[in-house]
Amino acid sequence: MKHITVSLKNKSYPIYIASRGWSQLAQAIGGKIRGKKVMIVCDENIYPLYYNSVKSVLISMGYQVCSAVIPPGEASKSFEQAQKLYTQALEARLDRSSSIIALGGGVVGDLAGFIAATYMRGIGFIQIPTSLLAQVDSSVGGKVAINHPLAKNIIGAFYQPDLVFIDPGTLISLPSREFATGLAELIKHAFIADPDFISWLEENMDAIIARDVEILSHAIYRSCQIKAGVVELDERETGLRMILNYGHTIGHAIEAATGYSEYTHGEAVAMGMVYEAGIAEKMGLIKQDYINRLADILERAGLPTQLDTPAWDLIIERMNHDKKNVDQRIVLVLPIGYGKVKIFKELTPEQLKQFLE
């Protein structure tokens, strides 16, 4: 079982990447779950696949287990769904020594983490991500949140998990579109931090698409290493951690402008990376070959690279609500070379519209 430690000032925690599936979950948990009551939050798709496997391990370790099942999809990251989970936690008599386990993709992790961070001012929290997007991105770093109709992830907290347990075997049955959406974040990590990882992904993309578990395990491990390294240097996104938002300023705006229903998060981020690379090229920061190489690997991963009919006025209006903005100026993370990005805080909406059109 591969192991990465996220070393933070106030709390460090392990990321385990299993080689033998759920049989290693008990070993990973050890004594890291607080108290004896555990509520597993999962969605309607994940519940029949993995809930009983996780529940069996926990019961064998002496824990009392209950479930909270939510509808799948980004719409569940809402005040309404959060209220339902608070009610279920109260009805299950979870107390300050209890824990919440997020079993599922990024939506489940963000929502369950938000509940764990705010219920009784914070209880135990464990991430068991089952989608590639959650395994390489949202489960690592402690960002938990719900959405507002005007902006994604605008209501949330930094709340680090007690541990992250990743079973790459869960990716074998993942729908192709959901698998591809995770590849967008994995590719992003390569382009912001590791040119060698870009080349490795290009060489191994066919095996990744074929769901070769050994190849996937390495890709997940390296991606988590990159994100953990950034988080360790800037846990609360006061500076450096913003580089993880490459593709996200435009990507989040695309999601919000289309009601969080037309594109997956990874699809929006993929297009966001290409558009933000286009801005960087117009600013003289990179050459066209960067954009071509980025677009090629995204397309091989099954991801879109541009909108059919971009409504830039609406998208830029949504960008004005981005949580990274400073003094009414839109903050963008733009590439300045392979494996290198820089944060720009001086671009106005008018300049962006000119670049994008």
Q: Which one of the listed residues 45, 189, 222, 237 is annotated catalytic?
A: 237
Our answer to whether residue 236 is catalytic in this structure is: no
Q: Which one of the listed residues 241, 255, 267, 318 is annotated catalytic?
A: 241
Q: Which one of the listed residues 248, 267, 281, 318 is annotated catalytic?
A: 248
Our answer to whether residue 36 is catalytic in this structure is: no
Q: How many CB atoms lie within 10 A of CB 169?
A: 17
Q: Taking each helix axis from N to C terminus, what angle separates 176-193 and 288-300, rounded to the nearest 10 degrees? A: 150
Q: Which one of the listed residues 45, 227, 267, 281 is annotated catalytic?
A: 227
Q: Which one of the listed residues 77, 189, 222, 265 is annotated catalytic?
A: 265
Name the region of 32 (left: φ>0; alpha: ψ -120 to 50; beta: rest). alpha
Residue of 13, 135, 14 lying closest to 1 (CA atoms) = 14
Q: How many CB atoms lie within 10 A of CB 19?
A: 15
CA distances, 238 to each of 41, 217, 320, 334, 342 (Å): 30, 31, 19, 17, 14
Our answer to whether residue 237 is catalytic in this structure is: yes
First to last CA, the chain: 48
Q: Which one of the listed residues 37, 143, 188, 222 is annotated catalytic?
A: 143
Our answer to whether residue 342 is catalytic in this structure is: no
What's the token pair of residue 317? 């209006």
CA distances, 65 to each of 39, 59, 95 (Å): 6, 7, 13
CA distances, 235 to each of 47, 121, 230, 238, 326 (Å): 32, 20, 8, 8, 19
| Residues 108, 124: Cα–Cα separation, whole Å | 16
Identity of the amino acid at 328: Q
Give the three-state DSSP class for 264.
coil
Q: Which one of the listed residues 178, 185, 235, 281 is annotated catalytic?
A: 185
Q: Which one of the listed residues 77, 152, 222, 252 is annotated catalytic?
A: 252
What's the token pair of residue 100? 């919440």
Q: Which one of the listed residues 152, 245, 276, 281 is annotated catalytic?
A: 245
What's the token pair of residue 174? 């993942």
| Residues 151, 216: Cα–Cα separation, whole Å | 32
Identity of the amino acid at 101: I
Our answer to whether residue 317 is catalytic in this structure is: no
Q: Are 16 and 2 in contact (CB under 8 A)?
A: yes
CA distances, 325 to each of 90, 197, 260, 320, 328 (Å): 37, 30, 21, 7, 6
Our answer to whether residue 227 is catalytic in this structure is: yes
- Which H/E stretch holds residue 282? helix 265-282
Our answer to whether residue 218 is catalytic in this structure is: no
Our answer to whether residue 148 is catalytic in this structure is: no
Which residues are annotated as catalytic? 121, 143, 185, 227, 237, 241, 245, 248, 252, 265
